[in-house]
Structure 1
Amino acid sequence: MISGEHDGGHQDVVFPMRVASYNVHGFRDASGAWNLERTAAVIRELDAHVVGLQEVICLRDCPLNAQFGDPRSVLADLAALTGHHAITGINMATGRSPCCNALLMRELPRDVTAQDLSLPGREPREVVSAVLGTEEHWLRVATVHVGLGFAEREGQVRRLVELVEKWGSERTVVLGDFNEWNPLSRTARRMARDLGAPKSGRTFPARFPLLPLDRMGATPDLRLRNAHAHRSALARKASDHLPLVAEVAEV
């Protein structure tokens, strides 16, 4: 579930493709109750081909009667409940961070990578990405969870933009919790300019959403249509964030 190439059986990417970003808050709701099945039900509501997850799980978040020994087993359970394949990064594999990222994908990707975005003295952060499709028709999807500090957010978004540029001609969609509430900040403006991040719905706090902390971006050869917060009754209870959903289309 970490990195590498997967052989055979790949299908061409077909647009438009429905994608989502969801900070699942360790599968705990606002009251602190742990409920993996409820999170899975929200993800099924999204009906998304790819879901970028943040704050997936760690042993700290598991209830005392459900200590799994390896947090990846919890993600495997989530994948089984939603009918997706689960892709994780270095933080979950090594226990470097209490908040880990993952991708849920309906099809196995061709390639999976995880790059460190951590800044000195701050909590470990990473971007997990995977390439879907064939060599002729493909899409890279990445998920990220940016830090809370102003300088931390700015530095990590700058490194993320550099990474997307390094991928070059690859069509890329970025899904994440960017912890950025101010649409006029330098971080938000960089995301709009360099990651093509459209205006999207308010996602936090889930019960009475006031802040657009969760965002999406795409390279210039793609367009994100109808980006919006998924505001079902179940989503308002399952996490402290609402999921963000959009359609990816070719320009």
Structure 2
Amino acid sequence: MTPPDAEQGARGRAGRSPRARTQKLFGTGLARNLAGSLAALRDRHGVPVLPSVPLPPTTGPEITVASYNVHKCVGTDRRFDPSRIAQVIGEISPDILAVQEADRRFGRRTGLLDTAALRDCGLQMVQVSRLPDGHGWHGNALLVRQGTALQIHRLSLPGAEPRGAVLVEMELPGGRLRVVAAHFGLLKRCRMRQSAAILEAIGRGPTMPTLMLGDLNEWRPGRRSSLRPLESLFGGVSFGPPSFPSRMPVFALDRILGWPHGLVREVRAHDTPLARIASDHLPLKAQLSLAQAAAGENVAEAA
């Protein structure tokens, strides 16, 4: 059964062609040439497709991390289908997964994910929701394969619309890790304040490798990017792999970031036929090496 907010959205979009919906979302000019716009932006601002300096060789075991805006489990075909979302997650087989829009947006914020299917994938929900039948905090859910949550911090982010983030300090088989799962707002000035709030919250905690995942709603590069405050910790964040819209991914709205340098490797979109239908965003996935992070911290201390 489709949730009420999904039904209202589907009725509002009924009768519009895909081109009309795209023009409404992105503007007529961009809609005419979606396929080439990201490449043009990268070229205009001198942003390479791949990092210009290769990362050092990895050491020790790696784990797979992922971020996925599931659009309240409503696909590009406007069907509410949590099992389909679970299948996409099963394709990725992540060890740590941040999910955005995991709960109903209006009324009681009950969870929308197929938790039984996700358990079959080996993932357990971190209890970030304050509701017994909720999955996330402001829609941000966190799932892990192995690990223990030591501290959970729920942030209400500043801005014109309700947004939030969760910071979870975890004990993993490879060591300790802080995981930040966030969904930023639609206005640039709000995203700037939200970036600052995240950094402040990280600064209040102990020093440890930090992973940030989520839909940060920013595709602009360089000085125009609202994510520039995050560069003070995570380095360059201007671009990630294009993940939106899922049927023709052009805009890099989603991010996987890590500190120290070398913690996160090989960030890419999970682009499969099922992922292009299950949500309006493609998931992002990456490899994470806690051993590499420890080596980076030791080098920084020696310097």
Tell whether 2:219 aligns with 1:181: yes
Tell whether 2:121 aligns with 1:82: yes
Residue equivalent to 2:33: none
In structure 1, C-alpha distance between the alignment counterparts of 2:152 and 2:137, rounded to whole Å: 20
Deviation at 1:128, TM superposition (A): 4.1
Which one has a bigger Cα radius of gyration?
Answer: 2
Tell whether 2:59 aligns with 1:20: no
Deviation at 1:41, TM superposition (A): 0.7
Question: Match of 2:180, SS?
Answer: strand
Divergent runs of 4+, >6 A = none
* Contact kept? 2:178, 2:210, Cα under 8 Å: yes
Residue equivalent to 2:204: 166
Tell whether 2:138 aligns with 1:117: no
| Superposed CA offset, 1:143-176 (max 9, x none) | 1111111111110011111222222411110111
In structure 2, C-alpha distance between the alignment counterparts of 1:232 and 1:58, rounded to whole Å: 26
Distance 1:127 1:59, change over 3 A: closer
Equivalences for residues 8-87 of structure 1 within 5 A: 15-58=61-104, 71-72=110-111, 74=113, 76-87=115-126
Question: Match of 2:171, SS?
Answer: strand
Question: Match of 2:148, SS?
Answer: coil
Question: Match of 1:212, SS?
Answer: coil
Higher helix share: 2
* Contact kept? 1:191, 1:217, Cα under 8 Å: no
Deviation at 1:106, TM superposition (A): 0.3
Gaps of 5+ in 1: 1-13, 62-68
* Contact kept? 2:67, 2:98, Cα under 8 Å: yes
Distance 1:115 1:166, change over 3 A: same
Distance 1:186 1:60, change over 3 A: closer
Tell whether 2:186 aligns with 1:145: no
Equivalences for residues 191-206 of structure 1 within 5 A: 191-196=230-235, 199-206=239-246
Count of residue pairs brought into register by the alignment:
229
Deviation at 1:82, TM superposition (A): 2.5
Structure with more contact order per residue of length (Cα contacts < 8 Å, sep ≥ 6): 1
Tell whether 2:208 aligns with 1:208: no
Of 223, 231, 235 in structure 1, the residue corresponding to residue 263 of structure 2 is 223
| Superposed CA offset, 1:174-227 (max 9, x none) | 111100010223423333342235542100000001100000111125432111
Question: Match of 2:143, SS?
Answer: strand
Deviation at 1:99, TM superposition (A): 4.8
In structure 2, C-alpha distance between the alignment counterparts of 1:98 and 1:152, rounded to whole Å: 18
Question: Match of 2:214, SS?
Answer: strand
Moved more, 180-189 or 39-48: 180-189
Residue equivalent to 1:106: 145
| Identical residues among aligned pairs (%) | 28
In structure 2, C-alpha distance between the alignment counterparts of 1:152 and 1:73, rounded to whole Å: 27
Of 238, 242, 246 in structure 1, the residue corresponding to residue 278 of structure 2 is 238
* Contact kept? 1:56, 1:75, Cα under 8 Å: no
Give the structure-1-normalised TM-score. Answer: 0.80
* Contact kept? 2:66, 2:283, Cα under 8 Å: yes
